[in-house]
Amino acid sequence: MNALLETREVSKSYGGFHALRGVSLLVRDGEFVSIVGPNGAGKTTLVNVITGLLQPTGGTVRLRDQEIVGMDPVRLAKRGLVRTFQLVNIFPGLSVRETVAVAVVSRLGRGGNPFRSREAQIDAIVEDVATVFGLDAKLDTQAATLSQGEKKLLDVASAFALKPELILLDEPTSGVSTADKHRIMEVLVAAAKAAGVRAIIQVEHDMDLVARYSHRIVALQEGRVLADLPPDRFFSDPALLSAVVGARPPPFAATWKGAQA
């Protein structure tokens, strides 16, 4: 498989504090990669460097073998790299239709006010995206009235409307009930396939989700890569699990299913 994203010896320091220490990561076409580790391990810092919110102190980040360090999130989105955030990042006063339309208009480079005009092409794309995420029945519902799970799906739907090749999910099910977590992940994986997303990176604490959906698991500790392993090897190492997440393997860890299975 071809390399889609690569970080080489990425470091990030704040004075004497080293948040990242020479992190190298390779993500290939078709992969679902989970980044795990305890609080303060550098997970969010790494994602912020990759997505242009932070400048690294050292190292390089390459997308399809092109250097992207210094590019802002808007330019990165145009190159096919987008992210979602742990906290829902939507405007509560907008409807589902309007929220997704903002992303569609941005991707198409259209001017004008997406809230006042109902262009047929934009409407069709919005409705297609909403359908994939199970939000088609709530297109004219105000975002503030959605359930937490639906807000999460809307947030991710807006990112998918930008037609990314690579998407980074930061705690995609945080704040969602345990009963809804797997439903949301199933929707996200199916949507990624339908939209032609070439790879997914997620930052995740829930080891059940990590075990079930990952092709590879990258464990960070104190800003360094501690392990980069397939799920079977990761979850068969109790010492590694204890060091990284302070947890035992999920009961079904041996029966994980990759995102592309």
CB-based contact 88:157 (threshold 8 Å): no
CB-based contact 228:234 (threshold 8 Å): no
If one counts every other C-beta atom within 10 angstroms of the C-beta of residue 255, the result is 11
* pLDDT given at position 253: 45
Closest by CA position to 208, among listed 169, 237, 178, 240: 178
* pLDDT given at position 230: 95
Closest by CA position to 43, among listed 200, 170, 166: 170
Which tokens hold the place of 129? 């995206």
- All domains of the chain in start order, with CATH: 1-73+166-172+198-261 (3.40.50.300), 81-162 (3.40.50.300)
**45-98 confidence digits (pLDDT tens):** 999 999 988 999 999 999 999 999 989 888 898 899 988 765 456 677 889 998
- Per-residue confidence in pLDDT tens, the chain, 261 aa: 578 999 999 999 998 899 999 999 999 999 999 999 988 899 989 999 999 889 999 999 999 999 999 898 888 988 999 887 654 566 778 899 988 888 888 887 655 555 555 678 888 889 989 988 888 999 999 988 988 888 888 888 888 888 889 999 888 887 777 778 888 888 888 888 888 899 999 998 888 889 999 999 999 999 999 999 999 999 999 888 888 876 555 544 444 444 444
* pLDDT given at position 173: 80
CB-based contact 180:149 (threshold 8 Å): yes
* pLDDT given at position 254: 41
Closest by CA position to 203, among listed 188, 189, 215, 219: 219
* pLDDT given at position 210: 92
Rounded to two decimals, what is the model's pTM? 0.83
